[in-house]
Amino acid sequence: MLSANLCEALVRIGGEEGPGFSLDFKWSSDLPMERPTERIRLVRPQLTALEAEALRARLGCRDMILTGSVVRLHRELAHGPGAVTVAGSFEDRDEGRLRRVRMTLDQPDCDKAAEAHRRGDEVLVRGDLTALGSAPRMEGIRSFVVRRLSE
């Protein structure tokens, strides 16, 4: 796995308009490889993909708050943890774009999610957004709060 800092350093080595560069690897004699590792060539399209800000945007953010509605629930058993999908948006991100975000909740929060779904109430989920794009997920859920919309 490459860190965002290493990726940013590779982009800087390549320069703004530079032709790119190649990397060669020689493995330790303590860990011999059956065949040599091929040269890796990084040119502008690959370097652009490695830009740290773009990577961080695609990979997610820590301590995000998702506000929305529970649209899917799944539990293998009547009690216990479950898979929940919330359709909502993140504060200060994507200009309020609606996303379907998956998460796994422990039993107490899953029970709250089921009740919120039944009543049509809004939920606020605080956790780490681990992926953007087609399959965003919330991990490390720190709080799951139901905001009652009807009395």
Residue 18 is predicted with a pLDDT of 74
Residue 28 is predicted with a pLDDT of 81
Residue 126 is predicted with a pLDDT of 96
Q: Tell me the average pLDDT across 15-29.
A: 79
Least confident stretch, 1-5, 40-44, 76-80 = 1-5
Q: Identify whether the C-beta of residue 124 lies closer than 8 Å to the C-beta of residue 65.
A: yes
Residue 58 is predicted with a pLDDT of 56
Average pLDDT value for the chain = 84
CA 149 to chain centre: 29
- With CA atoms as reference, report the closest residue to 118 among 146, 141, 98, 80: 146
Which residues, 6 or more positions from 61, have their beta carbon under 8 angstroms from its beta carbon? 93, 128, 129
For the stretch 24-67, pLDDT in tens is 877 888 877 788 788 888 887 777 777 755 555 555 678 899 99
For the stretch 121-146, pLDDT in tens is 999 999 998 875 567 899 999 999 99
**Percent of residues in the chain assigned helix, strand, coil, to nearest 5:** 25, 35, 35
Q: Where are the alpha helices (DSSP H) in the chain?
A: 4-14, 44-49, 52-59, 107-119
79 burial type by CB count under 10 A (0-12 exposed, 13-18 middle, 19+ buried): exposed
- Integer Cα distance of 4 and 77 in angstroms: 40
Which residues, 6 or more positions from 74, have their beta carbon under 8 angstroms from its beta carbon? 82, 83, 84
Q: Tell me the average pLDDT across 96-116.
A: 94
